[in-house]
């Protein structure tokens, strides 16, 4: 079996379950859909597959899912996570018709975790470390928002602190230059699977193309190996995809987020 086929099968079998959302504070099943609520007012829709639904049924599922989240006044934004290899007739049109906006497609990358441990040494003058204190978590969250060109959202930091308090396995890592956080990302071990996820990687524009993100990726990978994980997955932008391809990760599919805001 080719690596791409084997990895995609492992992705569908091991990750498209409750293992995908370990930080959920609530999960409701709606047919094939998993309607997830996270701290900080965020809803999320995912599924193993759409059960062979036709376009009419899919449109109905989109409407019912949105009504579920509308009924919760605490939820003010929802992401529907689509995958390029799914059989989903009419899904794009149904989501847009219900007020969802498609984001940029990203590559689903999977490969051997050990290969990431050597993607880059820490550059001179850079410190890479794990963060756990409230002050550090809030500083990291604000820096990542800045790196993505977004307004600082304190609710993101609140959600991260809530997860750390619950001890769901998530790790937060940053890279610093002269005491300033310039890059950061999460490590997400997936319980009961071979996988760990590397997420949220972002570097301030002025510090890109210096090997900082590669060093941050390697540090997270070494931490995951110590936990006994063997496979890594990540949804990658065009900027981060080459960093993951060089050590042997492969693109198995695409994922496109569709976002709705109250």
Mean pLDDT computed over every residue of the chain? 93
Q: How far is CA 49 from CA 27, 81, 83, 251, in A?
A: 17, 11, 9, 19
Q: Give per-residue pLDDT as tens, 141-198.
A: 999 999 999 999 898 899 899 989 988 899 999 999 999 999 999 999 988 888 999 9
pLDDT at 248: 87
pLDDT at 118 (0 to 100): 85
> Taking residues 63-89, what's their average pLDDT?
97
- Assess whether pLDDT exceeds 80 at residue 2: no
Band of pLDDT at residue 80, cut at 50, 70 and 90: very high
The pLDDT score that the predictor gives to residue 240 is: 79
Quick one: tokens of 103?
């984001």
Average pLDDT for 17-21: 85
pLDDT at 242 over 70: yes
Residue-level pLDDT at 196 = 93
CA angle 5, 10, 11 (to 5 degrees): 95
Token duo for residue 73:
């006044």
pLDDT at 23 over 90: no
Q: What is the pLDDT of residues 103-154, one digit of tens each?
A: 999 999 999 999 899 888 999 999 999 999 999 999 999 999 999 999 998 9
Strand ranges inside the chain, DSSP E? 26-30, 33-38, 42-47, 77-83, 101-102, 106-112, 126-131, 171-177, 180-189, 195-203, 231-236, 250-261
Q: How far apart are CA 8 and CA 109, in angstroms?
A: 9
What are phi and psi for residue 90, nearest 5 degrees? Answer: 75, 5
**What pLDDT is attached to residue 1?**
58
* Per-residue pLDDT at 74 exceeds 80: yes
Q: Give the number of other Cβ atoms within 10 Å of residue 259's Cβ.
A: 14
Mind listing the domains of the chain with CATH numbers? 3-107 (3.40.630), 110-253 (3.40.630.30)
Can you give the pLDDT at residue 192? Answer: 86
| pLDDT (tens digit per residue) in 197-231 | 998 889 999 999 999 999 999 999 999 999 999 99
């Amino acid at each position: 079996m080719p690596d791409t086929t084997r990895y995609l099968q492992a992705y569908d079998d091991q990750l498209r379950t409750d293992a995908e959302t370990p930080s959920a504070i609530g999960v409701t099943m709606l047919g094939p859909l998993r309607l997830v609520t996270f701290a900080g007012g965020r809803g999320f829709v995912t599924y193993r597959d759409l059960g062979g639904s036709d376009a009419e049924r899919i449109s109905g599922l989109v409407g019912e899912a949105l009504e579920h989240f509308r009924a919760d006044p605490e939820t003010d934004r929802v992401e529907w996570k689509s995958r390029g290899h799914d059989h989903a007739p009419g899904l794009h049109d149904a989501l847009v018709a219900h007020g969802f906006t498609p984001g940029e497609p990203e590559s689903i990358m999977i490969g051997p975790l050990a290969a990431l441990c050597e993607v880059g040494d820490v550059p001179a003058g850079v410190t890479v470390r794990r963060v756990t204190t409230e002050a550090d978590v809030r500083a990291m969250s604000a820096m990542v928002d800045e790196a993505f060109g977004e307004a600082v959202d304190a609710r993101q930091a609140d959600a991260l602190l809530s997860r750390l308090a619950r001890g769901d396995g998530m790790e937060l890592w940053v890279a610093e230059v002269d005491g300033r956080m310039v890059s950061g990302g999460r490590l997400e071990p997936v319980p009961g699977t071979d996988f760990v996820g590397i997420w949220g990687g972002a570097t301030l524009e002025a510090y890109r193309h210096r090997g900082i993100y590669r060093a941050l990726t390697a540090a997270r990978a070494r931490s995951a190996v110590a936990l006994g994980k063997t496979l890594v997955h990540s949804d990658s932008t065009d900027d981060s995809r080459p960093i993951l391809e060089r050590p042997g990760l492969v693109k198995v599919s695409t994922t496109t987020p569709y976002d709705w805001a109250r």
